[in-house]
Amino acid sequence: MAREIDFPPVWLAVFVVLGGLIGRLWPITFPYSSEIGAGLLVLGLLLMVLAALQMLMVRTAIMPRQEASTLITGGVFRLSRNPIYLGDVLFLTGLLVNWGALISLPLVPVFMMVLYHRFIAEEEERLTRDYGEIYTGYQSTTRRWI
C-alpha cells in the first residue's frame, strides 16, 4: 500500500501542506513576493507540462519506476535531466513565496532530497543500465536540476 502512494505528486502535496501550515504560523513577506511567487509557480507548471507533453509525444513512461521506452535529451530535457521534478521544486517554491511562507523555504532542499532518494537515484541507475554510454554522455552535458 505504501509503495502505491509513493509518487512525486503525493510528496509535493505533503510539502505544500506542511509549508503552508508553518507559513501561516509565522508569515513573512517582502515587496512583490506575491508576484515573484506566482511567476515561479507558473514557470514550474509550464516546465512540468512541456516535459510531460514531450514524453507523451514519444510514448515513453511519465510515472516513476516505469521503464522508459525512449531517452529524451532535447526540448526541456536539454535544460535539466529532470524537468518535471524541477517543475515540482519551482512550483513548491513559488507557492511558499506567494503565500508569504518564507520561513518554510528550508523545506525546499528537503523536498529535493526526498525526490532524489525516492525517485531520481533509481531512475538514473535504470537509465544507465538501459542506455549505457548514451545516457552517461547525456549526464555529462546536462545537469540534474539546472
Tens-digit pLDDT profile for residues 10-67: 999 999 999 999 999 999 989 999 999 999 999 999 999 999 999 999 999 888 888 8
CA distances from 115 to 15, 23, 69, 77 (A): 12, 22, 22, 17
CA distance 146 to 143: 5
Kindly list the distances between the CA atom of residue 76 and the CA atoms of 17, 18, 54, 105, in Å, as whole numbers in the listed order: 28, 29, 8, 25
Chain position carrying cell 531512475: 123
CA-to-CA dists, residue 50 to 45, 63, 144, angstroms: 9, 15, 17
**Average pLDDT of the residues in 92-98:** 98
What is the predicted pLDDT for the residue at 88? 98
Beta carbons within 10 angstroms of residue 129's beta carbon: 9
More confident residue, 4 or 128: 128
Compute CA distances 75 → 55, 69, 81, 100, whole Å: 11, 17, 11, 33
* Measured CA angle at 94 (ends 92, 99), to 5 deg: 100
pLDDT at 110: 98
- Per-residue model confidence (pLDDT) at position 136: 96
Q: What is the pTM of this model?
A: 0.93
